[in-house]
């Protein structure tokens, strides 16, 4: 079946499923493969549960005329998404970066949806499967699509950009994330900048943090750019007022009191404001959107529980975001402060050094009540308490609950430190 024919079929059945546990009536089921599964083997189940057609790449699993055999299911999904995007009139904004992608994407969507019909990446479905699935949710009514792009190795952002063909792009920052896959900090900068390279080649436009020297250097004079800055008169100025604990800012005489914790969220707000201004969303609507947004899914959530004021930032962690979290926590006013920090993953050969530096930083900042959790932190040379795993932490907290006051919980997703809440 040709791509154009498959797209016509998609228009008749505009819901894509890749998991038989989430089959909806009349959907198209794409039988993807993974390290531990082969979607082709679920062909009959998908049809029994109501799929209109199943796209497979193994002929022996064709059980009826409702099975469409292609060379490669994943490639077909990506090609279909690219084709659908090209036929759409929607403007596509792509964003990537080491930290803050998902929060920034949510803020941009909140602001732009005040005036436009928008769609945005759901959750963090930002990879080689998630980006195509996002693009395929664009409808005739969609005016702006906000597409998050994640990557853990070079070449991935370039590939995703070819699928999404964005009209605009934004990189949140270049931090120490996925160092193992990217091959160090310079590799991160090179990998994330693939979005800029794609936009420059296509003579598209970029939103940027004009106070980030790396972004300024990478963009130069090669592209149309709409930047924000605290005080550079060449760009749109946004004032940072405070973050104790919530970010408060001001633009064009409009004061915005957000529900976002930490100065590191200031630039995330700035990106959304700048895009709002570019797309002519009124200052009052921008203010309303930002003030209404509440973080969720363990991303800098404020939780008051059992006499504790908890900053739960357990969705993910890398050295850059960890340092920002410590700096913010250090600046907050509190009678007592306790840190529970979990291992940072995907750092490769830099893991020992990066964990030692975070332990040293916590000591330099004067934190007294610190618990380090995980095998990487367990190897650091530090006066702080070290728990090799979560079970050790659980045992410690059962006998030594933290002092009542403020508590920062942060670690990589695999550490699942949100479980600490059950122990307090």
Q: pLDDT 10s per residue in the chain (424 long)?
A: 789 999 999 999 999 999 999 999 999 999 999 888 899 999 999 999 999 999 999 999 999 999 999 999 999 999 999 999 999 999 999 999 888 889 999 999 999 999 999 999 997 789 999 999 999 999 999 999 999 998 777 889 999 999 999 999 999 987 665 556 666 677 677 778 889 889 988 888 899 999 988 888 877 666 778 999 999 999 999 999 998 889 999 999 999 999 998 888 999 999 999 999 999 999 999 999 999 999 877 777 888 888 899 999 888 888 988 998 999 899 888 889 999 999 999 898 889 999 999 999 999 999 989 999 999 999 999 999 999 999 999 999 999 999 899 999 999 989 999 999 998 8
Say how far apart CA 166 and CA 149 lie, in whole Å.
11
Taking the domain 301-423, which CATH number applies? 3.90.190.20
**What backbone phi and psi angles, to 5 degrees, belong to 162?**
-70, -30
Comparing CA positions, the residue from 268, 273, 274, 87 lying closest to residue 165 is: 87
> Given the DSSP bridges, would you call strands 16-17 and 28-30 parallel, antiparallel or unpaired?
parallel
- The separation between the first and the last C-alpha atoms of the chain, rounded to the nearest angstrom, is 58
Task: Look up the pTM and report it.
Answer: 0.84
CATH tag for 3-73 (out of 3.40.50.300, 3.20.20.70, 3.40.1390.10, 3.40.50.720): 3.40.1390.10
Say how far apart CA 302 and CA 118 lie, in whole Å.
28
Residues 6+ apart with CB under 8 A from 260: 103, 246, 247, 268, 269, 293, 295, 300
CATH 3.40.1190.10 at 88-292, yes or no: yes
User: Beta-carbon neighbour count of residue 172 at 10 Å?
Assistant: 24
> Given the DSSP bridges, would you call strands 37-38 and 33-34 parallel, antiparallel or unpaired?
antiparallel
Domain limits, the chain: 3-73, 88-292, 301-423
Alpha carbon 110 to chain centroid distance?
A: 15
- Looking at residue 174, what is its pLDDT? 79
- Looking at residue 127, what is its pLDDT? 92
């Amino acid at each position: 079946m040709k791509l154009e024919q498959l797209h016509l079929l998609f228009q008749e059945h505009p819901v894509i499923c890749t998991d038989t546990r989430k089959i909806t009536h009349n959907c198209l089921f794409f039988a993807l493969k993974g390290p531990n599964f082969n979607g082709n083997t679920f062909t009959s189940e998908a049809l029994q549960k109501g799929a209109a057609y199943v796209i497979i790449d193994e002929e022996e699993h064709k059980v009826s005329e409702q099975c469409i055999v292609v060379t490669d299911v994943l490639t077909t999904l990506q090609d279909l998404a690219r084709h659908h995007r090209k036929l759409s009139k929607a403007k596509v904004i792509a964003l990537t970066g080491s930290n803050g992608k998902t929060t920034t994407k949510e803020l941009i969507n909140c602001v732009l949806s005040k005036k436009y019909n928008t769609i945005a990446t759901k959750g963090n479905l930002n990879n080689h499967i998630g980006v195509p699935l996002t693009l395929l949710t664009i409808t005739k009514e969609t005016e702006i699509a906000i597409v998050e792009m994640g990557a853990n190795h070079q070449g991935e952002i370039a590939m995703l950009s070819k699928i999404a063909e964005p009209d605009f792009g934004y990189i949140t920052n270049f931090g120490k994330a996925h160092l193992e896959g990217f091959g160090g900090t310079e590799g991160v900068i090179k990998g994330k900048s693939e979005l800029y390279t794609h936009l420059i080649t296509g003579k598209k436009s970029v939103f940027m943090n004009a106070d980030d020297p790396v972004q300024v250097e990478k963009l130069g004079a090669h592209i149309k750019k709409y930047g924000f800055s605290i005080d550079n008169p060449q760009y749109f100025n946004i004032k940072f007022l405070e973050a104790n604990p919530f970010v408060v800012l001001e633009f064009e005489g409009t004061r915005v009191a957000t529900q976002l914790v930490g100065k590191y969220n200031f630039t995330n707000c700035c990106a959304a404001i700048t895009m709002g201004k570019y797309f002519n969303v009124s200052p009052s609507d921008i203010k309303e959107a930002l003030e209404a947004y509440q973080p969720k899914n363990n991303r800098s959530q404020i939780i008051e529980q059992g006499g504790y004021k908890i900053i739960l930032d357990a969705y993910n962690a890398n050295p850059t975001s960890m340092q920002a979290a410590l700096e913010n926590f250090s600046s907050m006013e509190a009678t007592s402060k306790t840190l529970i920090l979990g291992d940072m993953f995907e750092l490769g050969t830099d893991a020992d050094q990066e964990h030692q530096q975070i332990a040293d930083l916590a000591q330099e900042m004067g934190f007294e009540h610190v618990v380090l959790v995980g095998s990487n932190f367990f190897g650091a040379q530090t006066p702080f308490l070290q728990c090799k795993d979560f079970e050790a932490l659980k045992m410690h907290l059962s006998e030594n609950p933290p002092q009542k006051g403020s508590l920062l919980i942060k670690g990589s997703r695999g550490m699942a430190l949100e479980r600490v809440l059950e122990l307090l």
